[in-house]
């Protein structure tokens, strides 16, 4: 039997029978954190979860937490998935899912909300077992010329936007492509290494019934994009480029040309983080 490729990344060795793996589904306001991943001396989602779990369960050491994907500073999550290996001690064994959720949420005080918790097998891995991730980006169509601002949950741009054109170019990112023109390369990767990602769906829609959440009653448009995985800044870079196309400041051929040329030269800066939210993670093999 082949050893799963993530076995070496586990927070403890499941072959010893010393731990129980738990899946947690969590939500958070990204503006409150310096990103998702653990950073010593910085307030991050993983950092707060580690310290809160250790305090709640009276663990000797903070546990390692693995997430389905990293969100940047300022990016929100309505349903992020993590796993954590907890010691098989009496206090943890006796916990029921609802009691664990209630105990953690009491300590987290609303900064992070635990939506779901369940014990799972060690074959489950929050990152490598995931078959898709889905993000949404909210854009407000301002009628004020030259206005470009952000609030806690959206990006205001000068409208109106041509959603028909934006959907045409959104369809061009569906499929497997090298997204080097729309991603920030990881520091530990080779400059010439492709950044291949498979996008399953990408679409824009106008949310006529959600005007109340926008200042000055500006119309709200939403990008929903699902992929097997994303590279760094991919959704925000695609969003800013598609918005520029919707405004008429870039030709529709831009997306197709840059996927072919791999060049980011003179493309717009990434859209602001605050408009982006992770809204779901899919696991075809595992429950929920």
Residues taking part in catalysis: 72
Distances 14 to 21, 65, 124, 165, 229 between C-alpha atoms, Å:
9, 15, 12, 51, 26
Distances 2 to 5, 13, 122, 123 between C-alpha atoms, Å:
9, 16, 14, 12
For 156, list phi and psi in degrees, rounded to 5: -95, 125
The residues that bridge with 282 in the sheet, in sequence order, are 132
The residues that bridge with 196 in the sheet, in sequence order, are 178
Give burial (CB, 10 Å; 0-12/13-18/19+) of 166.
Answer: buried
- The angle at the Cα of 182, spanning 179 to 183, to the nearest 5 degrees, equals 85
Upstream peptide bond of 147 is cis (omega within 30 degrees of 0)? no
- The angle at the Cα of 95, spanning 91 to 100, to the nearest 5 degrees, equals 110
């Amino acid at each position: 039997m082949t050893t799963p490729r993530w076995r070496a990344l586990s927070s403890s060795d499941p072959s010893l029978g010393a731990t129980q793996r738990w899946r947690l589904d969590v939500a958070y306001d990204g503006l409150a954190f310096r990103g998702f991943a653990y950073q010593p001396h910085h307030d991050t989602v993983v950092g707060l979860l580690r310290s809160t779990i250790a305090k709640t369960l009276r663990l000797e050491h903070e546990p390692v937490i693995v997430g389905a994907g990293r969100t940047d500073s300022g990016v929100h999550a309505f349903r992020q998935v993590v796993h954590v290996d907890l010691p098989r001690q009496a206090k943890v064994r006796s916990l029921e899912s609802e009691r664990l959720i209630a105990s953690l949420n009491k300590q987290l005080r609303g900064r992070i909300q635990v939506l779901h918790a369940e014990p799972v097998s060690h074959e489950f891995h929050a990152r490598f077992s995931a078959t898709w991730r889905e993000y949404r980006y909210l854009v407000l169509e301002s009628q004020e010329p030259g206005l470009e601002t952000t609030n806690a949950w959206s990006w205001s741009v000068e409208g109106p936007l041509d959603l028909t054109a934006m959907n045409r170019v959104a369809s061009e990112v569906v499929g497997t492509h090298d997204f080097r023109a729309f991603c920030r390369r990881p520091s530990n990767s080779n400059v010439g290494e492709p950044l291949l990602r498979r996008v399953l769906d990408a679409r824009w829609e106008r949310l006529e019934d959600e005007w109340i959440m926008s200042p000055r009653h500006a119309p709200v448009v939403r990008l929903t994009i699902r992929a097997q995985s994303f590279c760094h800044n991919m959704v925000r870079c695609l969003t800013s480029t598609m918005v520029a196309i919707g405004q008429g400041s870039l030709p529709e051929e831009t997306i197709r040309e840059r996927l072919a040329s791999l060049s980011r030269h003179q493309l717009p800066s990434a859209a602001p983080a605050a408009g982006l939210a992770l809204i779901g993670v899919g696991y075809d093999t595992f429950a929920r």
